[in-house]
């Protein structure tokens, strides 16, 4: 029996004939289609979800790549700055070495100058002492010759003595004395001078250089 006559049979009889079991086949076909549709929908949802996840992952990857790129640029900038700082430190170190060499070279010169200044200072002090002694020797010689003098005084003390005598004596001078030095006028006021020798045991030296 062909399938062309299946529609003439009752459903119960057609169900017993495999070629005419149209109802059962249609039911199975609808169920399989439903399952296929559900599977397709689920697959599409999964595909959409996967696509969304992929997009999110791509965005995160791009974000990470951008962050890494910025971090790499920052590292390069810091490396450049460090290189510049190191270069400056090298230059400063070289300058310090040059300065240290210059200081080392100038120290002996300064030492020699210091020694020369100390020697010159000692010579000047000796000259000052000799100069002061020359006045004393001259004054002693003048006093021994009975010549009144104030040359035994130092220049500073001589000035103080002259003006002290003028102040205490209330002295005044006129034009007649214009050609005579004041110290000579004061010296002429002296009446008598003498030299007294002190035993060395009683002499207290105030100047260690004498």
What is residue 210's predicted lDDT score, i.e. its pLDDT? 52
Residue 201: inside a domain: no
Token readout for 84 is: 């510049």
For residue 153, give every residue at least 6 positions away whose Cβ sits within 8 Å of its Cβ, in sequence order, or none. Answer: 135, 161
What is residue 127's predicted lDDT score, i.e. its pLDDT? 85
Instruction: Identify the domain containing residue 130 by its residue range.
Output: 115-188
Residue 43: inside a domain: yes
Residue 180: inside a domain: yes
Residue 199: inside a domain: no
φ/ψ bin of 146: left (φ > 0), alpha (ψ from -120 to 50), beta (otherwise): left
Residue 206: inside a domain: no
Residue 1: inside a domain: no
Number of domains in the chain: 2
Using CB atoms within 10 Å of the CB of residue 130, give its burial: 0 to 12 exposed, 13 to 18 middle, 19+ buried. exposed
What is residue 23's predicted lDDT score, i.e. its pLDDT? 53
What is residue 130's predicted lDDT score, i.e. its pLDDT? 78
- For residue 129, the Cα-to-chain-centroid distance in whole angstroms is 51
Residue 205: inside a domain: no
CA distance 161 to 170: 14
What is residue 35's predicted lDDT score, i.e. its pLDDT? 72
How would you write the pLDDT of the chain (210 residues) with one tens digit per residue? Answer: 555 555 555 656 656 666 665 555 444 455 666 777 777 777 777 778 778 888 888 888 888 888 888 888 888 888 888 888 888 888 888 889 888 888 888 888 888 888 999 999 998 988 877 777 777 888 888 888 888 888 888 778 888 888 888 888 887 777 666 677 888 888 888 878 787 777 777 766 665 555
Residue 55 exposure: Cα atoms within 13 Å on the Cβ side: 5
CA distance 50 to 210: 114
The SS3 call for residue 98 is helix
What is residue 200's predicted lDDT score, i.e. its pLDDT? 74
């Amino acid at each position: 029996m062909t399938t062309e006559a299946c529609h003439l049979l009752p459903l119960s009889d057609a169900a017993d004939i495999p070629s005419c079991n149209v109802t059962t086949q249609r039911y199975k076909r609808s169920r399989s289609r439903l399952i296929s549709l559900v599977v397709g929908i689920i697959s599409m949802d999964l595909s959409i979800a996967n696509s969304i996840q992929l997009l999110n992952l791509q965005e995160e990857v791009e974000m990470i790549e951008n962050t890494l790129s910025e971090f790499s640029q920052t590292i390069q900038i810091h490396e450049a700055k460090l290189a510049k700082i190191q270069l400056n430190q090298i230059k400063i170190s070289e300058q310090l070495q040059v300065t240290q060499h210059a200081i080392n070279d100038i120290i002996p010169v300064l030492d020699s100058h210091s020694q020369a200044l100390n020697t010159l200072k000692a010579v000047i002090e000796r000259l000052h002492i000799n100069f002061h002694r020359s006045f004393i020797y001259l004054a002693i010689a003048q006093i021994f010759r009975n010549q009144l003098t104030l040359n035994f005084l130092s220049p500073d003390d001589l000035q103080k003595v002259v003006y002290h005598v003028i102040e205490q004596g209330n002295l005044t001078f006129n034009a007649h004395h214009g050609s005579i030095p004041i110290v000579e006028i004061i010296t002429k006021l002296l009446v008598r001078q003498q030299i007294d020798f002190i035993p060395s045991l009683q002499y207290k030296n105030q100047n260690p250089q004498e």
